[in-house]
Amino acid sequence: METAKKEQRVLDPRIDMDRLPRHIAIIMDGNGRWAARLGKTRAQGHEAGARGVRLAIEACRELGVDALSLYAFSTENWRRSATEVNTLFRLMSKYIHKEIDEIDKHRIRVRFMGRWEGLPARAVKDLRYCIERTQNNRAMDAIVAINYGGRAELADAARAIADDAAAGRLRPQDVDEQMIARRLYVPDHPEVDLLIRTSGEMRISNFMLWQISYAEIVVLPILWPDFDKQALCDAIVAYQGRSRRFGGRPETKRKGASC
Ligand code: IPE
Ligand code: IPE
Ligand code: MG
């Protein structure tokens, strides 16, 4: 925490270090529009987006955030052209190889959220390598959502519960919220406190539907390739200015919530 406090002074003195979001999720949007504005290709836009990923991970680590979830590829993104999809997976592999040493050095654990089925073999290999290499790290979790859909995640959880019920391992009347939460792709994280979306779009696009039920949403006008540490700090400052109620009175504090 001492290091985090020192970093925070450098990052943004407006941030109250005692009320940090424990789990931040980001919908990284706007690579295509960024490229179009500069007369570049969509592929160049995605390439430029890699910098934002690095800065988001770095800033969260420096501040002392426990978990950062990043929406990299949705179950709906398969609707894009084969060329764009291939580019995205090629860039993911490139990113992993370029950044893995730095990520591991800072004791960051990389986790995966999504459906493995349907991913290109190369992406599976690189992701598995990254996950296995960092599995014992505990400084921060970076959870990458690839081939991820919030509805798919809930459908997969429902199927797992139905399998257990059919095999006699549980009774339908035992199904409750905790049981569903335990069957999500990454079950052992605090719920999302702060959800950030770039590019000004006011929508969720099927991201973490269960986990964001009481997240504070901050939509930034900037496009993802322009995202930097200051943008993250601005979002945290906005989050800290909110009054979280969880359905109760303003002073109600839900167990486990940090703000
Ligand atoms: C986000 O940028 C990257 C992914 C969804 C993979 P977009 O490619 O969606 O960029 P825009 O929304 O077209 O600007
Ligand atoms: C959401 O962005 C998905 C990711 C950031 C990976 P999209 O650009 O795919 O979302 P829509 O189509 O604008 O809703
Ligand atoms: Mg988009």
From the candidates 16, 18, 31, 77, give the one annotated as an active-site residue: 77
Q: Is 104 a known active-site residue?
A: no
Q: What is the pLDDT of residues 13-63, one digit of tens each?
A: 999 999 999 999 999 999 999 999 999 999 999 999 999 999 999 999 999
Pocket test for ligand 2, best of 27, 74, 224 (most atoms within 8 A of CB): 74
Give the span between the Cα atoms of 27 and 66, in whole angstroms: 18
Q: Range of 201's domain?
A: 2-148+191-240
User: What is the mean pLDDT of the segment spanning 8-16?
Assistant: 82
pLDDT at 130: 98
pLDDT at 252: 55
State if residue 206 touches ligand 1 by the CB under 6 angstroms criterion.
Answer: no
Number of domains composing the chain: 1
Report the predicted TM-score, pTM, of the whole model to 2 decimal places: 0.94
Q: Is 163 a known active-site residue?
A: no
Q: What are phi and psi of 147, to 5 degrees?
A: 50, 45
* Residue 185, domain member (yes or no): no
pLDDT at 259: 44
* Contact yes or no for 233/218 (Cβ under 8 A): no
* Residue 66, domain member (yes or no): yes
Q: Ligand 3 center to residue 99 CA distance, Å?
A: 24
The C-alpha angle with vertex 41 and arms to 36 and 46, in degrees rounded to 5, equals 95
Q: Has residue 256 got a pLDDT over 70? A: no
Return the percentage of the chain with pLDDT > 70, whole number. Answer: 92
Residues having CB closer than 6 A to ligand 2 are 27-29, 71-74, 77, 201, 203, 205
User: What is the mean pLDDT of the segment spanning 92-106?
Assistant: 98
* Residue 71, domain member (yes or no): yes
Give the residue, by CA position, lying nearest to ligand 2 atom 2: 29
User: What is the mean pLDDT of the segment spanning 208-217?
Assistant: 98
In ligand 2, the atom with minimum distance to the C-alpha of 148 is 6
The C-alpha angle with vertex 51 and arms to 50 and 57, in degrees rounded to 5, equals 95
Q: Ligand 3 center to residue 3 CA distance, Å?
A: 35
Q: Ligand 1 center to residue 32 CA distance, Å?
A: 5
CATH code (residue 70): 3.40.1180.10
From the candidates 12, 16, 18, 29, give the one annotated as an active-site residue: 29
Give the span between the Cα atoms of 68 and 133, in whole angstroms: 18
* Residue 85, domain member (yes or no): yes
User: What is the mean pLDDT of the segment spanning 214-238?
Assistant: 98
* Residue 182, domain member (yes or no): no
Nearest to 194 by CA among 230, 256, 236: 236
Confidence band (pLDDT; 50, 70, 90) for 5?
A: low
* Residue 24, domain member (yes or no): yes
Q: Has residue 253 got a pLDDT over 70? A: no
User: What is the mean pLDDT of the segment spanning 194-209?
Assistant: 98
Residue with tokens 């073999």: 121
Q: What is the pLDDT of residues 67-89, one digit of tens each?
A: 999 999 999 999 999 999 999 99
Q: What is the pLDDT of residues 125-160, one digit of tens each?
A: 999 999 999 999 999 999 999 999 999 999 999 999
Structure tokens at 68: 């950062």
pLDDT at 195: 99
State if residue 148 touches ligand 1 by the CB under 6 angstroms criterion.
Answer: no
* Residue 160, domain member (yes or no): no
* Residue 169, domain member (yes or no): no
Q: Has residue 1 got a pLDDT over 80? A: no
Per DSSP bridges, beta strands 216-219 and 67-74 are unpaired
State if residue 30 touches ligand 1 by the CB under 6 angstroms criterion.
Answer: yes
